[in-house]
Amino acid sequence: MTSFETGSLEEEAIDELDIAPADGWNALYLDGEWVPAGDRDGIDVENPATRRTLTSVPSATEADVDEAFAIAKSAQEDWAERPPQERAAVVSRVRDLVGEYADDLETLFAVECGGVELKAAFETELTQGTMEVGAGLAMRDGGRRTESVTPGKENLLVREPAGVVGVITPWNFPLYLTSRVVAPAIALGNSVVLKPDENTPLTGGLVLASLFEEAGLPDGVLNVVPGYGDEIGDHFSAHPTPSVMSFTGSSEVGRRVGQRAVGQFTEPALELGGNNAHVVLSDADLERAVDAGAFGSFTHQGQECISINRHLVHESLYDEYVAALAERAEELPIGDPREEGVLVGPVVNESQRDKIVGLIEETVEAGATVEVGATVEAGGDHDGLFVEPTVLSGVTNDMPIAANEHFGPVAPVIPFETDEEAVELANDTEYGLSGSVHSADVSRARDVADAMETGMVHINDQPLNDEPHVAFGGVGASGMGRYNDEWILDTLTTLKWISVQREPREYPY
């Protein structure tokens, strides 16, 4: 494992990156203009590896939110009337710009959300993919003709843009999880008001504003209002203007966002938390299952809704699996994401660190054993945000680290006796986002996958999968609706029935 030392690399002046606006990031983006902070409070953008403040952005007010939605409403109709190929071209240009600014984005991913080089590559690729798929939707939003039970009538089903789309996005994969809504929304003729998470106002919001501005998006179609969730979140999610409210984040907050949106007859699209099980059956290839388990638990410090939250391993493989996974965890290089070869960076903030450490401590008190990890290193220029990849044995499904979404680099390993017990354990949660099953017998694995109550399951892999052309979403407390390709088309457009009576109709009176 590498040292926790940080600060040896010269930090980038992120206000001077090529991707940055001319006057830096300290502005809102409203009606195609970078609005200076003025007398608004600021949100400090801190590097979680060094705890240094890199820049500041304005903390938007409720009045700013109102203005942004008014601007978006005014701009939407004209944008929707533009030819679909024109709308698609703007989104496609942003896709190209993401590639052109890949080095700047890698820097921002590292210093804003602790993303290592591998994570930056994943996020850049996913963002470009969702831009490409989103642009393609512009040419696929037409309706269809259906037969009628009434003689001489023609039925037409026509898709129209939903209108204004409100978007609230998280800090863990900020650029991608924002783009997967913003790109198709704009391509389909909607306008957008975006509130990025306060931990990542740049990569979750203002970066997209800069990219779309350079791509030639008309003023007012995209507006970005960074702000603290506890200050403007309720006002944003209950705003009467948007037709759609998209939220990605915790189930607790998502429930509140959904309730407030529905109160305004706004359609919610919610992708929430997960407690994903990695099921290793008795005939699984142990090495392959461990490889997948390590990747699924420790990538981006486990800070993903589709990370492995629980490893369910057949009792005949349990000891070997625990030992092998612990060995893999101990070998992972930890440090500043800007250091070459680092695979595990810091968690995003103190609150996240305290939650992870607290769940580990409570689980050990309940009888689990730490096989490796579980230390938080303090000192230097940082504040102890590097949580070591941790493997816990002797865990039961009701222990805190397994019963809760820990969102950290922690791998609790739970034994089971039968396939039926594995399914019961996997389903013993309010969540239902993703999961994985390992077996040499694909039919057997498929039986288990079919019985798992989740929106997504991956056989002989791990849950950390997302492809922009495949439906993504969960059940239960993991959300409602589906993202990506044709499945988000239903959310971002409204289906209108238009009938044409071609011949005179006979009425009963």
DSSP 282-330: TTS-HHHHHHHHHHHHHGGGG-STTSEEEEEEETTTHHHHHHHHHHHHH
> Is 467 among the domain residues?
no
Helix (H, G, I), strand (E, B) or coil at 277: strand
pTM score over 0.75: yes
- The reply to whether 418 and 353 lie within a common domain is yes
Q: How many domains does the chain have?
A: 2
- The reply to whether 141 and 20 lie within a common domain is yes
- The reply to whether 488 and 425 lie within a common domain is no
> Is 92 among the domain residues?
yes
Pairing of strands 493-501, 153-161: antiparallel
> Is 4 among the domain residues?
no
Residuewise pLDDT in 10s, the chain (509 residues)? 434 444 444 456 899 999 999 999 999 999 999 999 999 999 999 999 999 999 999 999 999 999 999 999 999 999 999 999 999 999 999 999 999 999 999 999 999 999 999 999 999 999 999 999 999 999 986 678 999 999 999 999 999 999 999 999 999 999 999 999 999 999 999 999 999 999 999 999 999 999 999 999 999 999 999 999 999 999 999 999 999 999 999 999 999 999 999 999 999 999 999 999 999 999 999 999 999 999 999 999 999 999 999 999 999 999 999 999 999 999 999 999 999 999 999 999 999 999 999 999 999 999 999 999 987 765 444 458 999 999 999 999 999 999 999 999 999 999 999 999 999 999 999 999 999 999 999 999 999 999 999 999 999 999 999 999 999 999 999 999 999 999 999 999 999 999 999 999 999 99
Q: For residue 419, what are its two tokens?
A: 């396939």
Q: What is the pLDDT of residue 143?
A: 76
Give residue for tokens 């816990």. Answer: 392
Residues 6+ apart with CB under 8 A from 77: none
> Is 465 among the domain residues?
no
- The reply to whether 268 and 300 lie within a common domain is no
Q: What is the pLDDT of residue 144?
A: 87
Q: For residue 222, what are its two tokens?
A: 């995209």
> Residue 430 belongs to a domain with what CATH number?
3.40.309.10
Q: For residue 387, what are its two tokens?
A: 């949580």
> Is 238 among the domain residues?
yes
- Return the amino acid letter for 473: G
Distance from C-alpha of 287 to C-alpha of 416, rounded to nearest angstrom? 19
H-assigned helices in 225-272: 234-237, 251-262
Domain with 434, as residue range(s), is 276-459
Distance from C-alpha of 111 to C-alpha of 14, rounded to nearest angstrom? 9
Pairing of strands 458-459, 222-224: unpaired
Q: For residue 388, what are its two tokens?
A: 């070591």
CA-wise closest residue to 156 among 388, 417, 501: 501
Distance from C-alpha of 5 to C-alpha of 382, rounded to nearest angstrom? 9
Residue 198 a catalytic site member: no
Helix (H, G, I), strand (E, B) or coil at 179: helix
Q: Is 257 exposed, middle or buried (0-12, 13-18, 19+ CB in 10 A)?
A: buried
- The reply to whether 100 and 121 lie within a common domain is yes
Note the maximum CA span of the chain.
Answer: 87
Distance from C-alpha of 323 to C-alpha of 40, rounded to nearest angstrom? 53
Residues 6+ apart with CB under 8 A from 395: 310, 363, 368, 401, 402, 412, 413, 414
Q: What is the pLDDT of residue 168?
A: 98
Burial 409-447 (b: 16+ CB within 10 A, else e): bbbbbbbbeebeebbebbbebebbbbbbbbbeeeebbee
Phi and psi at residue 107, in whole multiples of 5°? Answer: -60, -45
Distance from C-alpha of 305 to C-alpha of 447, rounded to nearest angstrom? 24
- The reply to whether 383 and 339 lie within a common domain is yes
Give residue for tokens 């997967």. Answer: 180
- The reply to whether 429 and 490 lie within a common domain is no
- The reply to whether 124 and 268 lie within a common domain is yes
> Is 501 among the domain residues?
no
- The reply to whether 41 and 147 lie within a common domain is yes
- The reply to whether 363 and 383 lie within a common domain is yes
- The reply to whether 60 and 166 lie within a common domain is yes
Report the chain's C-alpha Rg in angstroms. Answer: 24
CA angle (324, 329, 330) in 5-degree steps: 100
- The reply to whether 262 and 313 lie within a common domain is no
> Is 472 among the domain residues?
no
H-assigned helices in 37-83: 62-81
> Is 361 among the domain residues?
yes
> Residue 36 belongs to a domain with what CATH number?
3.40.605.10
Assign 3-state DSSP to the chain and report helix, strand, coil percentages, each to 5.
Answer: 40, 25, 40
Among candidate residues 112, 271, 371, 405, the one labeled active-site is 271
